[in-house]
Structure 1
Protein backbone atom coordinates (compact mmCIF):
# COMPACT_ATOMS: atom_id res chain seq x y z
CA UNK A 1 0.00 0.00 0.00
CA UNK A 2 2.78 2.45 0.91
CA UNK A 3 4.68 1.55 -2.25
CA UNK A 4 1.67 2.27 -4.42
CA UNK A 5 1.10 5.60 -2.68
CA UNK A 6 4.71 6.68 -3.19
CA UNK A 7 4.71 5.63 -6.86
CA UNK A 8 1.35 7.20 -7.65
CA UNK A 9 1.62 10.41 -5.62
CA UNK A 10 5.35 10.90 -5.23
CA UNK A 11 7.18 11.31 -1.95
CA UNK A 12 6.07 14.88 -1.28
CA UNK A 13 2.36 14.20 -1.80
CA UNK A 14 2.25 10.96 0.15
CA UNK A 15 1.36 11.37 3.79
CA UNK A 16 1.48 8.96 6.68
CA UNK A 17 -2.20 9.75 7.30
CA UNK A 18 -3.15 8.73 3.77
CA UNK A 19 -1.22 5.48 4.00
CA UNK A 20 -2.74 4.68 7.40
CA UNK A 21 -6.27 5.29 6.12
CA UNK A 22 -5.67 3.16 3.00
CA UNK A 23 -4.41 0.36 5.23
CA UNK A 24 -7.43 0.72 7.47
CA UNK A 25 -5.34 1.40 10.57
CA UNK A 26 -4.46 4.36 12.65
CA UNK A 27 -1.71 6.86 12.02
CA UNK A 28 -0.48 6.21 15.57
CA UNK A 29 0.01 2.51 14.79
CA UNK A 30 1.86 3.31 11.57
CA UNK A 31 4.06 5.83 13.42
CA UNK A 32 4.90 3.16 16.02
CA UNK A 33 6.44 1.04 13.26
CA UNK A 34 7.92 3.87 11.21
CA UNK A 35 8.83 7.05 13.11
CA UNK A 36 9.05 9.04 9.89
CA UNK A 37 7.95 9.00 6.28
CA UNK A 38 11.63 8.69 5.34
CA UNK A 39 11.92 5.47 7.34
CA UNK A 40 8.74 4.08 5.79
CA UNK A 41 10.11 4.89 2.34
CA UNK A 42 13.41 3.15 3.18
CA UNK A 43 11.47 0.09 4.37
CA UNK A 44 9.52 0.00 1.11
CA UNK A 45 12.77 0.14 -0.88
CA UNK A 46 14.39 -2.49 1.32
CA UNK A 47 11.47 -4.87 0.84
CA UNK A 48 11.66 -4.40 -2.92
CA UNK A 49 15.34 -5.27 -3.06
CA UNK A 50 15.40 -8.26 -0.67
CA UNK A 51 14.16 -10.86 -3.18
CA UNK A 52 16.27 -9.26 -5.88
CA UNK A 53 19.39 -9.70 -3.76
CA UNK A 54 18.77 -13.44 -3.59
CA UNK A 55 18.41 -13.58 -7.38
CA UNK A 56 21.71 -11.75 -7.77
CA UNK A 57 23.45 -14.08 -5.32
CA UNK A 58 22.29 -17.06 -7.38
CA UNK A 59 23.40 -15.37 -10.61
CA UNK A 60 26.94 -14.87 -9.33
CA UNK A 61 27.75 -18.49 -8.58
CA UNK A 62 30.95 -19.43 -10.38
CA UNK A 63 29.32 -22.14 -12.52
CA UNK A 64 30.27 -21.75 -16.17
CA UNK A 65 32.97 -19.14 -15.68
CA UNK A 66 33.13 -15.39 -15.40
CA UNK A 67 31.23 -14.50 -18.55
CA UNK A 68 28.42 -16.92 -17.68
CA UNK A 69 28.06 -15.40 -14.20
CA UNK A 70 28.15 -11.87 -15.62
CA UNK A 71 25.53 -12.88 -18.17
CA UNK A 72 23.23 -14.26 -15.47
CA UNK A 73 23.78 -11.14 -13.37
CA UNK A 74 23.26 -8.81 -16.34
CA UNK A 75 20.03 -10.51 -17.36
CA UNK A 76 18.65 -10.58 -13.81
CA UNK A 77 19.65 -6.96 -13.24
CA UNK A 78 18.31 -5.63 -16.52
CA UNK A 79 15.05 -7.57 -16.30
CA UNK A 80 14.48 -6.09 -12.85
CA UNK A 81 15.41 -2.58 -13.96
CA UNK A 82 13.12 -2.81 -17.01
CA UNK A 83 10.07 -3.76 -14.93
CA UNK A 84 7.43 -1.00 -14.95
CA UNK A 85 7.57 -0.57 -11.16
CA UNK A 86 11.35 -0.20 -11.25
CA UNK A 87 11.13 2.41 -13.99
CA UNK A 88 8.46 4.28 -12.00
CA UNK A 89 10.60 4.11 -8.86
CA UNK A 90 13.67 5.42 -10.69
CA UNK A 91 11.66 8.35 -12.05
CA UNK A 92 10.31 9.06 -8.57
CA UNK A 93 13.78 9.08 -7.01
CA UNK A 94 15.19 11.38 -9.67
CA UNK A 95 12.22 13.74 -9.35
CA UNK A 96 12.23 13.90 -5.55
CA UNK A 97 15.90 13.64 -4.53
CA UNK A 98 16.65 17.30 -5.20
CA UNK A 99 13.92 18.49 -2.84
CA UNK A 100 14.18 15.57 -0.43
CA UNK A 101 17.82 14.41 -0.26
CA UNK A 102 16.92 11.74 2.31
CA UNK A 103 14.83 10.00 -0.38
CA UNK A 104 17.84 9.70 -2.68
CA UNK A 105 20.06 8.62 0.20
CA UNK A 106 17.60 5.96 1.40
CA UNK A 107 17.18 4.59 -2.10
CA UNK A 108 20.91 4.57 -2.80
CA UNK A 109 21.75 2.91 0.52
CA UNK A 110 19.03 0.22 0.25
CA UNK A 111 19.28 -0.42 -3.48
CA UNK A 112 22.16 0.56 -5.77
CA UNK A 113 24.84 0.62 -3.04
CA UNK A 114 23.99 -2.95 -1.99
CA UNK A 115 23.84 -4.22 -5.56
CA UNK A 116 27.22 -2.65 -6.39
CA UNK A 117 28.74 -4.01 -3.16
CA UNK A 118 27.48 -7.52 -3.92
CA UNK A 119 28.86 -7.41 -7.44
CA UNK A 120 32.13 -5.92 -6.13
CA UNK A 121 32.56 -8.93 -3.80
CA UNK A 122 32.20 -11.18 -6.82
CA UNK A 123 34.65 -9.06 -8.83
CA UNK A 124 37.14 -9.22 -5.97
CA UNK A 125 36.93 -13.03 -5.94
CA UNK A 126 37.41 -13.18 -9.70
CA UNK A 127 40.38 -10.81 -9.47
CA UNK A 128 41.95 -12.93 -6.71
CA UNK A 129 41.52 -16.01 -8.90
CA UNK A 130 43.07 -14.06 -11.82
CA UNK A 131 39.96 -14.51 -13.96
CA UNK A 132 39.70 -10.72 -14.03
CA UNK A 133 42.46 -8.14 -14.19
CA UNK A 134 43.50 -6.76 -10.80
CA UNK A 135 42.01 -3.42 -9.85
CA UNK A 136 39.36 -1.80 -7.72
CA UNK A 137 36.41 -4.22 -7.51
CA UNK A 138 33.92 -1.42 -6.83
CA UNK A 139 35.05 0.45 -9.94
CA UNK A 140 34.71 -2.75 -11.98
CA UNK A 141 31.24 -3.28 -10.48
CA UNK A 142 30.09 0.25 -11.29
CA UNK A 143 31.43 0.02 -14.82
CA UNK A 144 29.74 -3.29 -15.54
CA UNK A 145 26.39 -2.07 -14.23
CA UNK A 146 26.69 1.09 -16.32
CA UNK A 147 27.47 -0.94 -19.43
CA UNK A 148 24.44 -3.18 -18.85
CA UNK A 149 22.17 -0.15 -18.47
CA UNK A 150 23.57 1.72 -21.48
CA UNK A 151 21.13 0.36 -24.08
CA UNK A 152 17.50 -0.56 -23.74
CA UNK A 153 17.26 0.50 -20.09
CA UNK A 154 17.95 4.14 -20.84
CA UNK A 155 15.81 3.94 -23.96
CA UNK A 156 12.90 2.70 -21.81
CA UNK A 157 13.58 5.23 -19.06
CA UNK A 158 13.57 8.25 -21.35
CA UNK A 159 11.25 6.98 -24.10
CA UNK A 160 8.47 5.09 -22.31
CA UNK A 161 6.32 4.66 -25.42
CA UNK A 162 9.13 3.34 -27.63
CA UNK A 163 8.98 -0.45 -27.57
CA UNK A 164 11.20 -0.97 -30.62
CA UNK A 165 14.56 -0.91 -28.83
CA UNK A 166 14.31 -3.69 -26.25
CA UNK A 167 16.85 -6.45 -26.68
CA UNK A 168 18.17 -7.45 -23.30
CA UNK A 169 20.22 -10.35 -24.70
CA UNK A 170 22.11 -8.05 -27.09
CA UNK A 171 22.68 -5.40 -24.45
CA UNK A 172 24.03 -7.89 -21.90
CA UNK A 173 26.28 -9.54 -24.48
CA UNK A 174 27.65 -6.15 -25.58
CA UNK A 175 28.23 -5.13 -21.95
CA UNK A 176 30.15 -8.33 -21.23
CA UNK A 177 32.27 -8.01 -24.37
CA UNK A 178 33.20 -4.42 -23.56
CA UNK A 179 33.76 -5.17 -19.87
CA UNK A 180 36.01 -8.16 -20.58
CA UNK A 181 38.15 -6.07 -22.96
CA UNK A 182 38.88 -3.75 -20.05
CA UNK A 183 38.86 -6.20 -17.13
CA UNK A 184 39.54 -9.62 -18.64
CA UNK A 185 42.64 -11.47 -17.55
CA UNK A 186 45.97 -10.49 -19.01
CA UNK A 187 47.18 -13.16 -21.39
CA UNK A 188 50.90 -13.51 -21.96
Structure 2
Protein backbone atom coordinates (compact mmCIF):
# COMPACT_ATOMS: atom_id res chain seq x y z
CA UNK A 1 0.00 0.00 0.00
CA UNK A 2 1.40 3.38 -1.01
CA UNK A 3 1.36 6.16 1.55
CA UNK A 4 0.17 9.52 0.31
CA UNK A 5 1.47 12.70 1.88
CA UNK A 6 -1.31 15.11 2.66
CA UNK A 7 -0.66 18.75 3.39
CA UNK A 8 -3.09 20.30 5.78
CA UNK A 9 -3.88 24.00 5.95
CA UNK A 10 -2.38 25.80 8.94
CA UNK A 11 -4.44 25.96 12.07
CA UNK A 12 -6.21 29.21 12.89
CA UNK A 13 -3.65 29.84 15.60
CA UNK A 14 -0.73 29.29 13.21
CA UNK A 15 -2.41 31.42 10.53
CA UNK A 16 -2.85 34.26 13.01
CA UNK A 17 0.78 33.94 14.06
CA UNK A 18 1.92 34.09 10.42
CA UNK A 19 -0.30 37.10 9.76
CA UNK A 20 1.15 38.81 12.81
CA UNK A 21 4.69 38.01 11.63
CA UNK A 22 3.97 39.46 8.18
CA UNK A 23 2.56 42.61 9.77
CA UNK A 24 5.67 42.98 11.93
CA UNK A 25 7.94 42.61 8.90
CA UNK A 26 5.97 45.16 6.88
CA UNK A 27 6.09 47.72 9.68
CA UNK A 28 9.74 46.96 10.49
CA UNK A 29 10.80 47.39 6.86
CA UNK A 30 9.28 50.86 6.70
CA UNK A 31 10.72 51.75 10.11
CA UNK A 32 14.27 50.66 9.19
CA UNK A 33 14.15 52.68 5.97
CA UNK A 34 12.76 55.77 7.72
CA UNK A 35 15.02 55.73 10.78
CA UNK A 36 18.11 53.79 9.70
CA UNK A 37 19.48 50.78 11.53
CA UNK A 38 21.03 52.72 14.40
CA UNK A 39 17.88 54.81 14.84
CA UNK A 40 15.64 51.77 14.99
CA UNK A 41 14.84 50.10 18.28
CA UNK A 42 12.64 47.17 19.13
CA UNK A 43 10.66 49.52 21.39
CA UNK A 44 10.11 51.91 18.49
CA UNK A 45 8.85 49.14 16.21
CA UNK A 46 6.62 47.79 18.97
CA UNK A 47 5.12 51.26 19.39
CA UNK A 48 4.56 51.55 15.63
CA UNK A 49 2.82 48.18 15.71
CA UNK A 50 0.63 49.28 18.57
CA UNK A 51 1.54 46.24 20.64
CA UNK A 52 3.87 45.26 23.44
CA UNK A 53 7.59 44.84 23.09
CA UNK A 54 7.18 41.34 24.52
CA UNK A 55 4.98 40.31 21.59
CA UNK A 56 7.63 41.53 19.16
CA UNK A 57 10.39 39.69 21.01
CA UNK A 58 8.35 36.47 20.86
CA UNK A 59 8.73 36.57 17.10
CA UNK A 60 12.23 38.06 16.80
CA UNK A 61 14.83 37.79 19.61
CA UNK A 62 16.93 40.73 18.39
CA UNK A 63 16.99 43.71 16.06
CA UNK A 64 19.59 41.98 13.88
CA UNK A 65 17.35 38.94 13.44
CA UNK A 66 14.39 41.17 12.64
CA UNK A 67 16.43 43.03 10.04
CA UNK A 68 17.56 39.71 8.53
CA UNK A 69 13.95 38.52 8.37
CA UNK A 70 12.91 41.72 6.58
CA UNK A 71 15.65 41.21 3.98
CA UNK A 72 14.93 37.50 3.66
CA UNK A 73 11.26 38.09 2.88
CA UNK A 74 12.07 40.67 0.20
CA UNK A 75 14.84 38.52 -1.31
CA UNK A 76 12.77 35.33 -1.30
CA UNK A 77 9.89 36.96 -3.15
CA UNK A 78 12.26 38.38 -5.75
CA UNK A 79 14.17 35.13 -6.28
CA UNK A 80 10.88 33.37 -7.01
CA UNK A 81 10.20 35.91 -9.76
CA UNK A 82 13.74 35.69 -11.17
CA UNK A 83 13.71 31.89 -11.20
CA UNK A 84 10.68 31.97 -13.50
CA UNK A 85 12.59 34.18 -15.93
CA UNK A 86 15.70 31.99 -15.95
CA UNK A 87 14.24 29.13 -17.96
CA UNK A 88 17.18 26.89 -18.96
CA UNK A 89 15.29 25.78 -22.09
CA UNK A 90 14.65 29.32 -23.33
CA UNK A 91 16.83 31.20 -25.83
CA UNK A 92 19.96 32.50 -24.12
CA UNK A 93 20.27 36.19 -25.11
CA UNK A 94 16.59 37.18 -24.67
CA UNK A 95 16.46 35.35 -21.34
CA UNK A 96 19.56 37.13 -20.07
CA UNK A 97 18.09 40.46 -21.16
CA UNK A 98 14.84 39.77 -19.31
CA UNK A 99 16.80 38.70 -16.24
CA UNK A 100 19.05 41.77 -16.27
CA UNK A 101 16.10 44.05 -16.88
CA UNK A 102 14.34 42.47 -13.88
CA UNK A 103 17.41 42.86 -11.65
CA UNK A 104 17.97 46.49 -12.62
CA UNK A 105 14.29 47.29 -12.21
CA UNK A 106 14.27 45.73 -8.74
CA UNK A 107 17.53 47.33 -7.61
CA UNK A 108 16.59 50.81 -8.84
CA UNK A 109 13.26 50.87 -7.01
CA UNK A 110 13.04 53.58 -4.32
CA UNK A 111 12.89 50.94 -1.58
CA UNK A 112 15.99 49.12 -2.85
CA UNK A 113 17.98 52.34 -3.23
CA UNK A 114 17.01 53.41 0.30
CA UNK A 115 18.04 50.01 1.67
CA UNK A 116 21.35 50.06 -0.19
CA UNK A 117 22.12 53.52 1.17
CA UNK A 118 21.27 52.31 4.67
CA UNK A 119 23.73 49.41 4.35
CA UNK A 120 26.50 51.66 3.02
CA UNK A 121 26.03 54.38 5.62
CA UNK A 122 25.78 52.15 8.69
CA UNK A 123 27.87 49.06 7.95
CA UNK A 124 30.94 50.77 9.41
CA UNK A 125 29.31 50.84 12.85
CA UNK A 126 27.37 47.62 12.33
CA UNK A 127 29.52 45.25 10.23
CA UNK A 128 26.90 42.52 10.54
CA UNK A 129 24.63 44.51 8.21
CA UNK A 130 26.87 43.91 5.22
CA UNK A 131 27.05 40.18 5.94
CA UNK A 132 23.30 39.88 6.39
CA UNK A 133 22.62 41.86 3.23
CA UNK A 134 25.13 40.01 1.04
CA UNK A 135 24.14 36.53 2.22
CA UNK A 136 20.42 37.09 1.73
CA UNK A 137 20.34 39.23 -1.41
CA UNK A 138 23.33 39.52 -3.83
CA UNK A 139 24.82 36.12 -2.97
CA UNK A 140 21.63 34.14 -3.55
CA UNK A 141 20.82 36.08 -6.72
CA UNK A 142 24.27 35.25 -8.09
CA UNK A 143 23.81 31.57 -7.25
CA UNK A 144 20.48 31.49 -9.08
CA UNK A 145 21.98 33.18 -12.15
CA UNK A 146 25.11 31.00 -11.95
CA UNK A 147 22.98 27.85 -12.21
CA UNK A 148 21.40 29.21 -15.39
CA UNK A 149 24.80 30.12 -16.85
CA UNK A 150 26.13 26.68 -16.00
CA UNK A 151 23.40 25.12 -18.15
CA UNK A 152 24.29 27.45 -21.02
CA UNK A 153 27.97 26.56 -20.68
CA UNK A 154 27.15 22.85 -20.67
CA UNK A 155 25.28 23.30 -23.96
CA UNK A 156 28.24 25.13 -25.49
CA UNK A 157 26.40 28.47 -25.70
CA UNK A 158 29.03 30.11 -23.48
CA UNK A 159 32.68 29.30 -22.88
CA UNK A 160 33.31 27.29 -19.75
CA UNK A 161 34.25 29.55 -16.82
CA UNK A 162 33.58 30.04 -13.11
CA UNK A 163 29.81 30.43 -13.07
CA UNK A 164 29.62 32.50 -9.89
CA UNK A 165 32.26 34.85 -11.26
CA UNK A 166 30.36 35.10 -14.54
CA UNK A 167 27.14 35.91 -12.67
CA UNK A 168 28.98 38.59 -10.71
CA UNK A 169 30.32 40.11 -13.93
CA UNK A 170 26.99 40.47 -15.72
CA UNK A 171 25.24 41.84 -12.62
CA UNK A 172 28.07 44.31 -11.99
CA UNK A 173 27.82 45.65 -15.53
CA UNK A 174 24.04 45.94 -15.30
CA UNK A 175 24.32 47.83 -12.00
CA UNK A 176 27.03 50.21 -13.21
CA UNK A 177 24.69 52.63 -14.98
CA UNK A 178 21.36 53.88 -13.69
CA UNK A 179 21.65 52.09 -10.35
CA UNK A 180 24.98 53.74 -9.57
CA UNK A 181 23.69 57.17 -10.56
CA UNK A 182 20.59 56.78 -8.38
CA UNK A 183 22.66 55.56 -5.46
CA UNK A 184 24.93 58.61 -5.69
CA UNK A 185 22.00 61.01 -6.04
CA UNK A 186 22.89 62.00 -9.60
CA UNK A 187 19.45 60.85 -10.75
CA UNK A 188 16.16 61.29 -8.92
CA UNK A 189 14.35 58.53 -10.78
CA UNK A 190 14.81 56.09 -13.63
CA UNK A 191 12.74 55.15 -16.66
CA UNK A 192 11.94 51.93 -18.53
CA UNK A 193 14.13 53.03 -21.44
CA UNK A 194 17.12 53.57 -19.12
CA UNK A 195 16.56 50.17 -17.51
CA UNK A 196 16.38 48.52 -20.94
CA UNK A 197 19.59 50.26 -22.01
CA UNK A 198 21.45 49.05 -18.90
CA UNK A 199 20.24 45.48 -19.41
CA UNK A 200 21.04 45.41 -23.11
CA UNK A 201 24.54 46.82 -22.58
CA UNK A 202 25.29 44.26 -19.85
CA UNK A 203 24.15 41.33 -21.97
CA UNK A 204 25.94 42.52 -25.12
CA UNK A 205 29.26 42.91 -23.28
CA UNK A 206 28.78 39.65 -21.39
CA UNK A 207 28.01 37.58 -24.48
CA UNK A 208 31.12 38.90 -26.22
CA UNK A 209 33.30 38.23 -23.17
CA UNK A 210 31.94 34.72 -22.61
CA UNK A 211 31.45 33.66 -26.23
CA UNK A 212 32.31 30.03 -26.94
CA UNK A 213 35.91 29.48 -27.88
CA UNK A 214 36.18 28.79 -31.59
CA UNK A 215 37.77 25.46 -32.43
CA UNK A 216 40.50 25.53 -35.11
Farther-moved stretch of structure 1 (149-158 vs 135-144):
149-158
Alpha-carbon distance in structure 2 between the residues aligned to 1:124 and 1:52:
21
Name which of 57, 67, 77 aligns with 1:51.
77
Alpha-carbon distance in structure 2 between the residues aligned to 1:164 and 1:153:
9
Alpha-carbon distance in structure 2 between the residues aligned to 1:145 and 1:69:
14
1:105 matched residue in structure 2: 131
2:206 matched residue in structure 1: 179
Equivalent pair of 1:96/1:104 in contact (CA under 8 Å): no
TM-score (norm 1): 0.94
Farther-moved stretch of structure 1 (80-89 vs 151-160):
151-160
| Residues 14 and 134 of structure 1, relative CA distance in 2, 3 Å threshold | same
**Structure 1 ranges of 4+ moved more than 6 A:** none
**What per-residue deviation string (whole Å, max 9, x for no partner) do you get for residues 145-183 of structure 1?**
001111111111112545588611111111111101111
Alpha-carbon distance in structure 2 between the residues aligned to 1:47 and 1:88:
17
2:183 matched residue in structure 1: 157
Alpha-carbon distance in structure 2 between the residues aligned to 1:15 and 1:185:
52
| Residues 70 and 182 of structure 1, relative CA distance in 2, 3 Å threshold | same
1:11 aligns with 2:46: no
TM-score (norm 2): 0.83
- Root mean square deviation of aligned Cα: 1.6
| Residues 163 and 41 of structure 1, relative CA distance in 2, 3 Å threshold | closer
Give aligned pairs, total. Answer: 188
Alpha-carbon distance in structure 2 between the residues aligned to 1:111 and 1:160:
24
Equivalent pair of 1:78/1:168 in contact (CA under 8 Å): yes
SS in 2 for 1:2: helix
**1:32-111 residue pairs with structure 2 within 5 A?**
32-111=58-137
2:10 matched residue in structure 1: none
Unaligned ranges ≥5, structure 1? none
Unaligned ranges ≥5, structure 2? 1-26
Equivalent pair of 2:106/2:112 in contact (CA under 8 Å): yes
Alpha-carbon distance in structure 2 between the residues aligned to 1:4 and 1:77:
22
2:3 matched residue in structure 1: none
